[in-house]
Structure 1
Amino acid sequence: MNASSLDKIESAPVRKFIRPALPQTGRIDLFNHYPDGPMWAGDGNRSLEVRVSFDRLYAYKPEVLLSLAAVDSAREQNLRYDLRVKDVDTNGFTIHFATWSDTRISLATVSWFAFGTAQ
């Protein structure tokens, strides 16, 4: 980097408008399928999706993290599940939950954390 490049960097205008960070959290019961329901059936591929709306909007698409907060399943089979976040936008996101084979899940609860720039 030469001296003229450094002069340009030092004389560049500084923007003073900075939007605050916006963390948001939540917990949602995805389903309770005991004693009847597709996740408890224990047969083949099963999935569901739940849309979550943010309480406050973001200026740009935020980062979203999911964790399984609670699960109740039959002990006779392996616990198999796939938990994903999809379709994230400034208004919310979709939780995708799936299981397969003979796994029987009666209920699942998810905790989520979103972090981005406030609108």
Structure 2
Amino acid sequence: MKKLRATTIGVDQGKVELFSEFAEGGEMWVGSGTRERRQYIPFSTSYRTPPTVHLSFALWDVDRSANLRADLMTENLGTDGFDMVFRTWADTRIARVHVAWMSIGEVASDDDWDL
């Protein structure tokens, strides 16, 4: 559990189209084996320490002829942003993915003193 000691807590959120590859015949749609897409997501304001980040699928367009295999995670989480990472493997075919995210953490306050 992350305990926040600040009187100022920041919540940031957004939604991104991580990829859309079915129209162009991209690797996520026609490829096989291990595949990955990543995108750097900057926060609108820096946090004092790395925040907690939650990811969820906002749109998931997949082919039903194969097993659905997916891994959605954050990497390189810092005070200014993070990498959103989506992975799939084997014969899974993914046409497009949109991901919603939310971050919660301590932000600087006008009452903070820098000594």
Identity of aligned residues (%): 35
Q: Which has the larger radius of gyration?
A: 1
Q: After alignment, is 41-50 or 96-105 more displaced?
A: 41-50
Number of residue pairs aligned between Structure 1 and Structure 2 = 102
Matched, 1:93 2:76: no
The match for 1:45 is 34
TM-score normalized with structure 2 length:
0.84
The one-letter code sitting in structure 1 at the alignment partner of 2:81 is G
Unaligned residue ranges in structure 2 (runs of 5+): 1-5, 109-115
Aligned 1:14-93 pairs, distance under 5 A:
18-35=6-23, 36-93=25-82
The one-letter code sitting in structure 1 at the alignment partner of 2:54 is L
Query: What does the per-residue CA deviation read over 1:13-69, in whole Å, with 9 as the maximum and x for residues that have no partner?
Result: xxxxx5400011111110000131111024111011110001111111111111111
The match for 1:105 is 94
SS at match of 2:28: coil
Query: What does the per-residue CA deviation read over 1:66-85, in whole Å, with 9 as the maximum and x for residues that have no partner?
Result: 11111101111111100011
TM-score normalized with structure 1 length:
0.81
Q: What CA RMSD, in Å, does the superposition of the two structures yield over aligned residues?
A: 1.1
Unaligned residue ranges in structure 1 (runs of 5+): 1-17
